[in-house]
Amino acid sequence: MPHRLLSLEHFRQRLAHADALPQLVVLGVLSGLAAGGLISLFRHLDTLLQFELLPGGAERFENLSTQERLLWPVGGSLMLILLFLVIPAHARSVGIVHLLERLNNQQGRMPGLNMLIQGLSALIALGSGHSVGREGPAVHIGAAASSLIGQRMHLPNNSLRLLVGCGTAAGIAAVFNTPLAGVIFAMEVVLLEYTLIGFLPIMVAAVVADVVVRATVGEAIVFNAPEASIGELTGLPLVVLLGLLTGLLAAGFHHLQLLTFRLRHWHFSVRFLLAGGLTGAVAAYWPEVMGSGYDTIEALFHGPAPLLFLLGLLLAKCLLTPVIIALGIPAGLIAPALFIGAVAGALLGGVGAWLTGQPHTGLYAMIGMGAMMAALLNAPLAALLALLELTHNTGIILPGMLAILVANLTTRFGFGLPSIFHASLQQQGLDLRQAPLAQVLSRAAVGSLMQRDLCQAPASLNRTAARALLDAAPYWILVDSTPRRFLLPPTDLRQYLDSLAPEVDSGDDIDLLSIPAQRIDVEPLLYRATLKEALERMQQQQLQYLLVVSNREEPMGLISRQQIEDYYHQKQSLT
């Protein structure tokens, strides 16, 4: 047992450094196993629930009668209200926005209860036909499971941040079987940075989660897409037009969702009932808006649909989804984004086919799917890779890139909009954009720099004990005088001892609080803290040093402002 504890302590100490690649890869494996196992269970329960409830199987909401489509979402809202009434208020925060908030304000420490509520509430929302997807819940579950591993092992906060990225990638990989898109999504949307040291463990987590899901519930063949390519370059202007259209739709989605956020002060019971009523009313005419809509998307890949039907469906989905998500229905918006893009692409492709007589709908439905995801999430590379992995169609890369580029430019620079997740956080007064200094300092913990060369001393000690203390040649003496802790330079104590007359009794006590010496106040900081947290603490309390302590408040070392600044300048010189 002592040997095991020693190995774990060494593991923690190595993770405090920004370059602990072998240890980070181990965390990636653990993250992939945990996230893959939980999301396998989530996917299995979601599929089983819908097969039991819906005539014709999962996603077959169209087979419900008009009255059932009216009442189904209202019933789901009532179940959500009952669930939220019996849980504490802090456990109601779920989804990717909750994940980003915990990453920004709590160093990635995600609660287990919120993860359980996310899974259960998402199953209710999906099974009752709300216009949402299961990708957001999967990301929350994967990130929370990974974070809980780090918390259980008492790992430093810099590795908790990366664990959340690993869980995010594992969540996307497990729910879609798209590991590469999961890796890029974690870096583009959640961590907001690309680093070589972070890429490998996140990739490991995505691959392991994908393997776990394939081994337990099978491959998630989300779409059975036909082979298609742009053919003649004369089709590219229509691709550009599709990118512009999806960019405009994403901007409208943004604004409608943020406008509806103003109703979040309403009690959740009122908001959930309103969301259920709106979904039921729309579903009475367009049942395709219910659920994730993967069956409708796949149908659009294989054949045209009436233009007026597509136009009505597009407007219904675009107006309904941002409203119910802003009202608090606890599930994701990635699937609705894919749905809106596919319908927009099929509509524009149908218009092109009507004008030219050439079939376009399936190809443009695929392209629109990626363009809408990129524009709404501000994640162009993740959207392109998701498009490629979901359709298994390499011929779509060129037009897909063009549409994604135009869509992203439209929302990002035309309207100045960030990712929909970050916009939601900004609506709550939070901003996740980090300065370069904060990004660099978030990658390492205080244990990677702290000085361990210090000795502890009481406020009063005799000459013999003082000489013995100096013989240890410490860099600092930590004086623990309740309730004050301060640092004393050993040279000052030595000078005072040398100034004493030889005839002074060596047993007489020396008061370290009163001898002439420099005294530097310090405050404790847990060893798990990142360098960013340490610097913020120093700035707030106007300190030059912090005392790094264990969970039991035992001193472990010192970290100085100068060390942190030197570390940052060193890292900058290497880039």
pLDDT tier at 502, thresholds 50, 70, 90: low
Higher pLDDT, 494 or 18: 494
Report the alpha-carbon distance of residue 487 to residue 475 in Å, rounded. Answer: 10
Residue-wise pLDDT tens digits, 56-79: 777 888 889 999 999 999 999 999
What DSSP state is assigned to residue 413? I
pTM of the model: 0.86
Amino acid 501: pLDDT: 65
What DSSP state is assigned to residue 514? T
Q: Does 574 have pLDDT greater than 70? A: no
Edge-first strand order for the sheet with 524-526 is 524-526, 545-549, 555-560
What is each CA distance from 334 to 35, 73, 136, in whole angstroms? 19, 20, 7
Amino acid 220: pLDDT: 66
Amino acid 221: pLDDT: 61
pLDDT tier at 344, thresholds 50, 70, 90: very high
* CB neighbourhood size of 62 (10 A): 16
Angle between helices 380-391 and 397-409 (to 10 degrees): 150
In SS3 terms, 379-427 reads as CHHHHHHHHHHHHCCHHHHHHHHHHHHHHHHHHHHHCCCCCHHHHHHHH
- Beta 524-526 vs 545-549: how paired, if at all? parallel
What DSSP state is assigned to residue 358? S
> Phi and psi at residue 399, in whole multiples of 5°?
-65, -35
Amino acid 41: pLDDT: 94
Q: What's the mean pLDDT in 507-530? A: 85
485 SS3 class? strand
104 SS3 class? helix
Amino acid 6: pLDDT: 53
Higher pLDDT, 484 or 134: 134
What DSSP state is assigned to residue 56? T
Q: Does 2 have pLDDT greater than 70? A: no
Amino acid 1: pLDDT: 45
Amino acid 4: pLDDT: 52
Residue-wise pLDDT tens digits, 34-44: 999 999 999 99
User: What's the whole-number average pLDDT of the chain?
Assistant: 88
Q: What's the mean pLDDT in 31-53? A: 92
* CB neighbourhood size of 148 (10 A): 19
Structural domains in the chain, sorted by start: 2-223 (1.10.3080.10), 233-427 (1.10.3080.10), 441-574 (3.10.580.10)
Q: Does 357 have pLDDT greater than 70? A: no
Q: Percentage of residues in the chain with pLDDT exceeding 70?
A: 94
Residue-wise pLDDT tens digits, 363-373: 899 999 999 99
Residue-wise pLDDT tens digits, 164-219: 999 999 999 998 889 999 999 999 899 887 777 888 999 999 999 999 999 988 77
Q: Does 409 have pLDDT greater than 80? A: yes
pLDDT tier at 326, thresholds 50, 70, 90: very high
Q: Does 18 have pLDDT greater than 80? A: no
Range with lowest mean pLDDT among 316-330, 504-518, 543-557: 504-518
Amino acid 244: pLDDT: 97
Higher pLDDT, 510 or 334: 334
